[in-house]
Structure 1
Amino acid sequence: MPSLVLLRHGESAWNAEDRFTGRVDVDLTPRGEDQARRCGVLLREAGLVPDRSHTSTLTRAVRTGALALAAAGRPLVPARQDERLDERGYGALEGLTRGEVRDRHGSAQYQRWRRSWDAAPPPAFRGGVRRTGESLADVAARLRPCWEDALAPDLRAGHTVLVTAHSNSLRALIALLDQLGPEEVLDLEVPIATPLHYALDGHLRPLVPGGRYVRHDPLPRGSGPAIHP
């Protein structure tokens, strides 16, 4: 039976400062490193030992995946890095705290950028490089081919696949798995460093809609999207 484990990276330096990180390459904090190792222990204890690993190209996801695999007893599983799994680009918001964005643009615009399906933050120019803002719809569009040509083939072959990525790229992937519409995705939350397991049937459809979180106090999903309280 194919198994898919989705894992958002551990705490990064900008998570700790409540900053919009987007596609800026920020490393884990020591706490984030510990969180990643704990995820690996949880997977090992649950009997979910990945034999295939896919990560974004950003350090916080790459290192989270590597630390989790080592703690799960599978340090030699190679990770395929794929920029289609990278975090949503936040453009001009990257590096700003949430409070700064609310102060500059107002709470309504802040919520629209964060939670609407098709609103993209404005681009930024840093060091002569244009940093594009993406909507969640943009992220979903780049995730679908990643699913089709990278993740699904490993799953069809019966592997246990670990995908270590980011809040918005994982939201888009969950929406694809659970066939959620744009309105259903808006309140979807993916908690930091908490493995989400999807057992899949032969057609790669979830046996339990929403999957199940893997933790010492397991949160049974049962039905509905993977919304963290």
Structure 2
Amino acid sequence: MEITPSTPSLANSAATGAAKTLAQDFDTFLTLLTSQLQNQDPLEPMDSSEFTNQLVQFSSVEQAIQTNKNFETLIALTSANTTSAALDYLGRQVTYAGAESNLQGAGIDWSYDLDPDAVASSIAVKDATGKVVFAADGPEDGGTHQFAWNGKDNAGTDLPDGVYSLSVSAIDKAQNPVSADIFSTGTVTGVDVTATNPVLSIGGITQPLVSIREINQDS
């Protein structure tokens, strides 16, 4: 099993840097204000409205920075939860949205959802180069269907291990093409959590976590 770790850091976040800069600017502002108040002409006191406006601006910026900090914390917590969820998939057999799967001696299990209006269909298995290595007629109705391929071509010859994909074509009564959503099944052997969205390795096929449709009960 392979795990590629992530290294999130809040310490170097933009909000943290902005807060530090704001604190330095505010200290400078207070130093200047104190100096001007100490040296002002008692007979012509300074107009405090400008300083009041600047204080209000500092307060607004400080609140905005704090809001950004809260958002960053929330994002970090969400990312940690997503990473934890992704790691739970290691070693589990899953079904994911995608036509590609890896033949590893025992065949490949696919499923596909045909449009309810489908009245005829055909299936084809293609190798990594796009060449059709197996073809057959499919079901004549819509709904969910299973296809367990034994890894052989139409002549019954065993094909080498590697990546294969399923293609499903279907038509309705008017001979118009209709949709077919294909799903593959495999075991999760690795997890990459370095990106924003974790990526799973399923028998050598990389799939985003969001593509997982179910975890098989017998895994």
The two structures share one fold, judged by TM-score above 0.5: no
Q: TM-score band, normalised by the shorter chain?
A: under 0.3
Higher helix share: 1
Per the normalisation by structure 1, the TM-score is 0.20
